[in-house]
Amino acid sequence: MISSVTNPLSSDSEYDVIVAGAGPGGLTLSCFLSMRGFRVFLVDPRESLAPLGRGELIQPLGLRILEELGLLDALLSEEHVCYDKFCFFDFNGKPMMVSSYRGKGLSYEWALSIEPYLQDRLMWRMLENSPFVTLLPGGRYVAHESRENGIDVMIESREGLKTIRGKVLVGDDGRDSRLRKNLSLPGSVKEYADSYVSWSFDLPDGVSPDSAAGDPAARYYLGPGEIFFLFSTAPRKRFFLYMLKDRKFDEFISRGDVDFLARISQCIPGMGDVLVEAGFPGVSALKEWVIQKVDLKHWVKDRAVVIGDAAHATNPHVAQGRNQAMEDGRLLSVHLEAAFSGSTTSLAEELRRFETIRIERTECLHHLADEMCLVWNSDNPLIVWGRERVFRGISKTPSMNRKIVRTISGEDFLPLSLLDRARAFLKGLFASICLVIILGDWT
């Protein structure tokens, strides 16, 4: 359970910022604002912060933000795994590429793999200890009305409906954002064609981390219309994501457990048996993640602004959603501070500046995510064949590897050019031809 702090619904208080949603974006924003002494009201329907059945990657961008908040060391004392490289294989377990964070000039040469609720809980606790923050778990934003010098926000909780007054309303209320709907912000919200199922489990006692199935490495297996990701969130805790092409969940279930376990054993010999020993609940019990793409032309209207997935939800291939939501929170706190304390700049101006900077970056990430989905998720034999050559080519080209890693770290955005791709393809093709000539390997 997470607890509320101070009498949250006393109507005489006026807050600097009312935050709807305690996702990583809203939490980050509230932490920064409270550190600077601004009064924050944070409301979220969640009554407790619990495991999701999968982990998430906190990239160097997110690690830097946690460090700025003084929370990184505390997070590192929770169960986690640090990854300095990510390994890509084809669906027969044959290596295609290794992306290493080493020597790329990043703030951190690793990404953290962790159960996301551990980060949220840590931030919530920081806010519980702040005299500037009022927390209301078990409540939700319903509606709002802008006034001349502020905003009235209607909150629903066990105690009924109440209006809270503030200067600004920030919606970090997720991909189905109510605030976004109420503001009628222009742009598009749609679902990606493919979804993912996940399961997290403890590695059975008898399975060694030195074995193929027990290895804690971060691994992606890409096949024609099939993807299996296997990561660790602790030395003996694993989770996987498996793509459902065209969201055919019923077909996936009808193919049954035996088929699924055999498929993943094709990637990693013995993996199916390990899952069974770990208590695999069966394919029908797996949680399905339907992914949305939120692509807005504006995030701001009057005194209200959306951030995080509410503003720019994207595909998890770029492993950026949490990190970018945190960056929204960090940057918005800077602009709000300027608006609240400066006489030279207005709130409207600062919100517009924030929006312009962040839309530019998140649009780039949307393009990258779309391209990754097109290439990674494809079942087209020609694309799959070309993709495998490009992956192998990139592996042999340090400058391209650097661009990819710096982009995925969230600290930079360096997309591959057409020339890069052509070079990678030719290098990969050459490597394949050598394999055919020397080893007679046609795969």
Ligand X SMILES: Cc1cc2nc3c(=O)[nH]c(=O)nc-3n(C[C@H](O)[C@H](O)[C@H](O)COP(=O)(O)OP(=O)(O)OC[C@H]3O[C@@H](n4cnc5c(N)ncnc54)[C@H](O)[C@@H]3O)c2cc1C
Interacting residues toward ligand X by CB under 6 A: 20-26, 43-46, 54, 56-57, 140-141, 172-174, 178, 196, 241, 289, 291, 308-310, 316, 319-323, 325
**Phi then psi for 296, rounded to 5 degrees?**
-105, 150
Smallest separation, CB 137 to ligand X (Å)? 9
Can you tell me the distance from the alpha carbon of 279 to that of 327, in angstroms, rounded to the nearest whole number? 38
Handedness of CA 130, 40, 112, 61 (dihedral sign): negative
| Closer residue to ligand X in complex, CB, 21/150 | 21
Smallest separation, CB 52 to ligand X (Å)? 8
| Closer residue to ligand X in complex, CB, 177/432 | 177
The three-class DSSP label of residue 211 is: coil
Can you tell me the distance from the alpha carbon of 212 to that of 210, in angstroms, rounded to the nearest whole number? 7
Smallest separation, CB 168 to ligand X (Å)? 15
| Closer residue to ligand X in complex, CB, 3/92 | 3
Can you tell me the distance from the alpha carbon of 339 to that of 116, in angstroms, rounded to the nearest whole number? 32
Taking only Cα atoms into account, the Rg of the chain, rounded to an integer number of angstroms, comes to 23
Smallest separation, CB 231 to ligand X (Å)? 8
Longest Cα–Cα distance of the chain, Å, equals 80
Identify any residues that bridge with 195 across adjacent strands, giving them in sequence order: 244
Smallest separation, CB 44 to ligand X (Å)? 5
| Closer residue to ligand X in complex, CB, 178/396 | 178
Smallest separation, CB 321 to ligand X (Å)? 2
Smallest separation, CB 419 to ligand X (Å)? 30
| Closer residue to ligand X in complex, CB, 265/292 | 292
Between the alpha carbon of residue 334 and those of residues 32, 35, 119, 303, 348, the distances in Å are 8, 12, 22, 16, 14
| Closer residue to ligand X in complex, CB, 142/357 | 142
Can you tell me the distance from the alpha carbon of 174 to that of 345, in angstroms, rounded to the nearest whole number? 29
Can you tell me the distance from the alpha carbon of 274 to that of 387, in angstroms, rounded to the nearest whole number? 30
| Closer residue to ligand X in complex, CB, 23/150 | 23
Residue nearest ligand X, Cβ-based: 23
